[in-house]
Amino acid sequence: MGAYLNKICQTPNLDNLAKNSLIFNKAFTSVSSCSPSRSAILTGMPSHENGMYGLHQGVHHFDSLEVDSLPKILRRHSIRTGIIGKKHVGPGDVYPFDYAQTEENNSILQVGRNITYIKLLTREFLNSTEDKPFFLYIAFHDPHRCGHTNPQYGEFCERFGNGEEGMGLIPDWTPIYYQWDEIVPPYYIPDTEAARKDIDAQYITMSRLDQGVGLVLKELQDAGHLDDTLVIFSSDNGVPFPNGRTNFYDSGIAEPMFISSPIHRERRNQITNSLTSLLDIVPTLLDWYGISENVTQNWATNNIEEKRNLTGKSLLPLLIKEPDDKSNEAIFASHNLHEVTMYYPMRMIRTQRYKLIHNLNYASPFPIDQDFYLSPTFQDLLNRTKSHEPTNWFKTLKSYYNRPEWELYDLKVDPAEINNLALKPSMKEVFNQLKKRLFEWQKDTQDPWICAPHAVLENQGSYKNNPSCLDLDNIW
């Protein structure tokens, strides 16, 4: 989008929102996978702690544990909650919205991509609030891929509702079209005709998302709530391209984020380079609503008790002032599975300068998900690799599939994360410091994978009061 200096893709509504917001330059998801990321957004807990280990739907069938979620907390404080669009988390009693128009009771194409319908649903919700405090979570499905489920509408459903014969018409959408040969792919996407046309299709759906955001903000204004409502715009996981979604490289976890506050005007149209995680959204909203309640999960009884500590932080102070010292900032990430067959658990810590990734299942090839596999970009990359043609990519598929247990990058000199420093003697102190901080975060978030892959966690019976990692002697 234009606010992040893209010179091709046209996003005037998002750019206008950015001008009235603090723009986050270093916002990251805690997991680059659909359901796990959405569960983290709505609980403030990483997926290994809230139980949403992978995709929620179909054969994957992952569900969150009986944890406290944002809609639960807000309901206890008489705040009306609503969700429009893609929900993709469960079970329902963990995420109980007062108003819900999602793929569970609608076509996802309608509630996720039909911006006219989304506009009308937004109006319906706002008219039902009776001027009471509310929380509305609008989850656009653009610009997600859809070619594997609805190929008739194009790789990104860019033809859905465009007025062509058989495509239907979304009255409020004016598609914006591009010249694929004028698009310059970012460094992590192959510079090929197939990839450029793929990006072109995604850009078209960005116009639908952008115009949808404009419609929603207009509904907020018409309802008289534009000047008393905190607006957060972000995404949930990485782009569905090579080195993107399901990865912990910056190309897979970096997110757009704008926060517009009617109260905090000091830093509108400014940027922050403070490290931010989507795990910060719940603490931010609790701060906004003035909810000081802290609760904890009693794992023995499954009851909610007082004083649960979220590892995220409120972002509201950033709307007033940039931190004087960001040198000790760190964000963390945790991935277990995407599809149920894609077991590739990873843990990550990222500071302002360094990133450490722990690949727990490093002996197996990095897995590829279904919709990305069928994409024109990946098929072209795969076929070029098989036929020994130039891929015009900054990696090889062999190096992409086969990863070491530890990856350490100096982001100051290597922002593309190519030169792994994990085994470099001069980086031993940095490696050990990051490893220790990552382990402490895993302890704080009760990570079941904390001892993997070289030990077994024992925390019951004789070890109940002294949880221990017992060595497997499996390093040869």
- Residues 6 or more apart whose CB falls under 8 angstroms from that of 245 comprise 32, 33, 237, 238, 239, 252, 338, 369, 372
Please check whether residue 34 is in contact with residue 54, taking contact to mean a CB–CB distance below 8 angstroms: no
pLDDT score at 131? 85
Query: pLDDT tens for residues 393-416?
Result: 999 999 999 999 999 999 999 999
| HSE (side-chain half, CA atoms, 13 Å) at 395 | 18
Query: pLDDT tens for residues 245-262?
Result: 999 999 999 999 999 999
Q: What is the mean pLDDT of residues 432-439?
A: 98
CB atoms near residue 212 (< 10 Å): 27
pLDDT score at 476? 82
Query: pLDDT tens for residues 358-397?
Result: 999 999 999 999 999 999 999 999 999 999 999 999 999 9
Angle between helices 376-386 and 193-222 (to 10 degrees): 160
CA gap 52, 90 in Å, rounded = 8
List Cα–Cα distances, 198 to 195, 208, 271, 317, 389, in angstroms: 5, 16, 30, 39, 20
pLDDT score at 309? 75
pLDDT score at 295? 53
Tell me the percentage of the chain whose pLDDT exceeds 70.
97
Name the E strands within 340-434.
Answer: 346-351, 354-359, 406-410
pLDDT confidence of 130, banded at 50, 70, 90?
Answer: confident
CA gap 78, 307 in Å, rounded = 20
- The tokens for 81 are 């909650």
pLDDT confidence of 291, banded at 50, 70, 90?
Answer: very high
Please check whether residue 14 is in contact with residue 2, taking contact to mean a CB–CB distance below 8 angstroms: yes
Burial of 419 (0-12, 13-18, 19+ CB in 10 A): exposed
Q: What is the mean pLDDT of residues 209-231?
A: 97
Provide the mean pLDDT of the chain: 95
- Residues 6 or more apart whose CB falls under 8 angstroms from that of 35 comprise 52, 54, 55, 56, 57, 60, 62, 88, 89
State in Å, rounded, how far the first CA of the chain is from the last one: 48
Residue 29, pLDDT above cutoff 50: yes
pLDDT score at 299? 46
**What are residue 428's phi and psi, to 5 degrees?**
-60, -45
Residues acting as catalytic residues: 34
pLDDT score at 335? 98
Q: What is the mean pLDDT of residues 149-172?
A: 97
Tell me the percentage of the chain whose pLDDT exceeds 90.
95
Q: Are strands 303-306 and 270-272 parallel, antiparallel or unpaired?
A: unpaired
**What are residue 123's phi and psi, to 5 degrees?**
-60, -45
List, in sequence order, every residue forming a beta bridge with 351; answer none if it has no partner.
330
pLDDT score at 308? 54
Give one word for 339, left, alpha or beta, with left for phi > 0 and alpha for psi -120 to 50: beta
pLDDT score at 293? 57
Q: What is the mean pLDDT of residues 84-103?
A: 97
pLDDT score at 304? 46
Query: pLDDT tens for residues 31-80?
Result: 999 999 999 999 999 999 999 999 999 999 999 999 999 999 999 999 99
pLDDT score at 347? 98
CB atoms near residue 372 (< 10 Å): 20
Q: What is the mean pLDDT of residues 286-294?
A: 86
> If we measure between CA atoms, which residue out of 20, 8, 30, 7 comes closest to residue 253?
30
Residue 214, pLDDT above cutoff 60: yes
pLDDT score at 300? 47
Residue 307, pLDDT above cutoff 60: no
Q: What is the mean pLDDT of residues 221-226?
A: 96
